[in-house]
């Protein structure tokens, strides 16, 4: 499917991804994404992404979202700036928007609001928790 950009290069043990966009269609559905770029350390220890947006629809549901910046340290700690997203799937539904969001383990706090119940947890305004 169409793809533009997303040049990759290595800097030591870090992979740098350049700006780009891609779209795909398969038996499972349709997906499109665009990003300014980012950095990812080997083994998924740390990741930084700058402005990105994506949308998709398929057999498992639909989603759309955009993030200004994101940083993750493994899957346990992360932060987002200027985030908005919505999803509806067999696993539940959620929608939210925030100026800033921090996740530590199963708890998320945000300067904004998110509501819903899905595989990522229970979302009640400024806070989310994933008890399972």
Query: Which domains does the chain possess?
Result: 3-129 (2.60.450)
- pLDDT at residue 1, rounded to an integer: 53
* Whether 52 contacts 66, CB under 8 Å: yes
- Could you tell me which of 23, 53, 20, 56 has the C-alpha nearest to residue 37? 20
- What is the average pLDDT score of the chain? 93
pLDDT digits (tens, 9 = 90+) for 52-98: 999 999 998 999 999 999 999 988 999 999 999 999 999 999 999 99
Q: What is the dihedral of CA 12, 52, 50, 114, to 10 degrees?
A: -120
How far apart are alpha carbons 118 and 52 in whole angstroms?
Answer: 22
């Amino acid at each position: 499917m169409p793809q533009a950009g997303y040049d990759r290069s290595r800097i030591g043990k870090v992979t740098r991804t350049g700006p780009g966009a891609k779209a795909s269609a398969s038996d499972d559905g349709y997906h499109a994404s665009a990003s300014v770029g980012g950095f990812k350390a080997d083994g998924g220890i740390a990741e930084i992404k700058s402005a990105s947006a994506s949308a998709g629809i398929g057999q498992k549901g639909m989603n759309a979202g955009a993030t200004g910046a994101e940083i993750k340290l493994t899957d346990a700690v992360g932060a987002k700036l200027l985030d908005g997203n919505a999803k509806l799937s067999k696993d539940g539904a959620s929608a939210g928007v925030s100026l800033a969001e921090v996740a530590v383990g199963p708890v998320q706090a945000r300067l904004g609001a998110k509501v819903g119940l899905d595989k990522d947890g229970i979302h009640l305004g400024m806070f989310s928790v994933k008890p399972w």
